[in-house]
Amino acid sequence: MDSHTVPQFITEDYLRQHFGMRQGGEIQLEPGTRFTPAAQQLLNERQITVRWRDEKGQVFVETAHSANQQHGCAQSTRLEKVHPLKSNNVRPSNGCMLCGSGVADKPALMTHLDDQVLVPKTHPRITLRGKLDSCISYCVLVQCEMRHQPELLQGFMADIRSYLGQILQAEVTGQALPEPMLGEFSSDTVHQWSHNPLKHLGHDHMLPDVIYGELVAQLNYLRALVRELELVATQVFIDHSMQLSSGGIDRNDIVAGLNRLSSAVYVVMILAWQCQNGQDSVLGGLAHGTA
């Protein structure tokens, strides 16, 4: 989200512009922020968790507790401080993947694969997480460069950033990963746009070229980073004991999700170029679902 004054009441349009509204996602706002009924309904429908972040960067979640009242117990909520990168304050255990024993002091050459197991930092899944970290960081830089682009494109970029975080969450926790969306548009729809952009978006395929300018170049580099992530994920999760023709891929959801995400970035790249050249009528069509 941009570093600007957040309105006291968050609207549905504000949520769509500044946050990724993926199913089961998470957003962070200042404590005391309230939502319009339509915004609250959107959060409920998408099952999006709201975490609260104060001016010191401390993160809080709402927890339910029972309060004694004159005529019995009433349920209310309060804010509980949690680790900024987690949803709880549980300290991970240090079980070594190599020897199976507990480790009193975590060595510098090892890190947590999850809350239970330590692995060497050369573990393939740790390499994948490092690539994800770099990709997320660059995605945020691109978001900063797009602050003056149309709201629809800003919302699309928020969806892309949110999905990268969801990939990391799914890889760490083992949760299933759905396919990405751009706003209300499904992965299949975005995939069709990317394969025939002239038909659906009014501009043909683009190759890297200085004539398109800095923003398009940044978006294209982000697309390339996502493609690189897809290749790394394939290397990490492929089952070499099976024939490739049999589809021996563990976590095919992550590999497939990255494949579709690169298409989404490519679509945003084409739309950004059109907007820079005053050919943004296609955005109006997308906003009204007529693309």
Give the 3-state secondary structure of residue 2: coil
Residues 6+ apart with CB under 8 A from 108: none
| Helix, strand, coil tally for the chain in percent (to 5) | 45, 15, 35
User: Residue 265 has what pLDDT?
Assistant: 98
The backbone torsions φ and ψ at residue 44, rounded to the nearest 5 degrees and listed phi first, read -65, -45
**Among 103, 260, 109, 234, CA closest to 178:** 260
Contact 193, 38 (CB under 8 A): no
User: Residue 244 has what pLDDT?
Assistant: 47
Taking the C-alpha atoms of residue 133 and residue 115, their distance in angstroms, rounded to an integer, is 19
Taking the C-alpha atoms of residue 19 and residue 287, their distance in angstroms, rounded to an integer, is 17
Which amino acid makes up residue 83?
A: H
Domain 124-287 CATH (choose: 1.20.1200.10, 1.10.645.10, 3.40.50.300, 1.10.3720.10): 1.20.1200.10
User: Residue 243 has what pLDDT?
Assistant: 47
What is the side-by-side order of every strand in the sheet holding 95-96?
95-96, 117-120, 110-112
Give the chain's count of helices (H) and strands (E).
Answer: 9, 9
Residues 6+ apart with CB under 8 A from 62: 50, 52, 77, 78, 79, 80
User: Residue 210 has what pLDDT?
Assistant: 95
Contact 36, 11 (CB under 8 A): yes
User: Residue 246 has what pLDDT?
Assistant: 46
Taking the C-alpha atoms of residue 171 and residue 184, their distance in angstroms, rounded to an integer, is 25
Q: Residue 248, Cα to own-chain centre: how many angstroms?
A: 26
Angle between helices 187-195 and 252-276 (to 10 degrees): 60
Q: Residue 133, Cα to own-chain centre: how many angstroms?
A: 11
User: Residue 240 has what pLDDT?
Assistant: 54
Averages of pLDDT over runs of 10 residues in the chain (291 residues) are 65 83 79 89 87 82 62 64 64 52 66 75 90 96 93 92 92 90 92 94 93 96 97 86 55 95 97 87 73 59
CB-count burial class (<10 Å; 0-12, 13-18, 19+) for 247: exposed
**What residue spans define the domains of the chain?**
9-82, 91-122, 124-287
**Which residues share a beta bridge with 182?**
185
**Among 107, 80, 77, 112, CA closest to 93:** 112
Please report the DSSP string for 245-280 in residue order.
GGT-BTTHHHHHHHHHHHHHHHHHHHHHHHHHTT-T
